[in-house]
Amino acid sequence: MVSQELLDILRCPADVRNGPDAGLLDLVNGAWLVCRDCGRKYPIKNDIPIMLIEEGDKYRNTPVEKLEAPQ
């Protein structure tokens, strides 16, 4: 499980430069971090959030309800 302390400080790397409230993430299904600003979706693998823009891009256009468990 990813700690709440970590979740509280994580921001989307594509938006974080835009300010302290930019790039806020929502935890979905305990397995994805979804950016509120750009919609990129970062997978959590083995309890480690993969905060790479190229990873976030892969499921950017996938609706949240269609997300499957990260591979």
| Residues near Zn ion (CB under 5 A) | 12, 14-15, 23, 35, 37-38, 40
φ, ψ dihedrals at 64, nearest 5°:
-55, -40
Least Å distance, CB 23 to Zn ion, is 5
Rg (CA), the chain: 11
Least Å distance, CB 6 to Zn ion, is 17
Q: Which C-beta is closer to Zn ion: that of 10 or that of 35?
A: 35
Structure tokens of 50? 């993969």
Q: Which C-beta is closer to Zn ion: that of 31 or that of 53?
A: 53
Least Å distance, CB 36 to Zn ion, is 8
What percent helix, strand, coil does the chain show, rounded to 5?
25, 20, 55
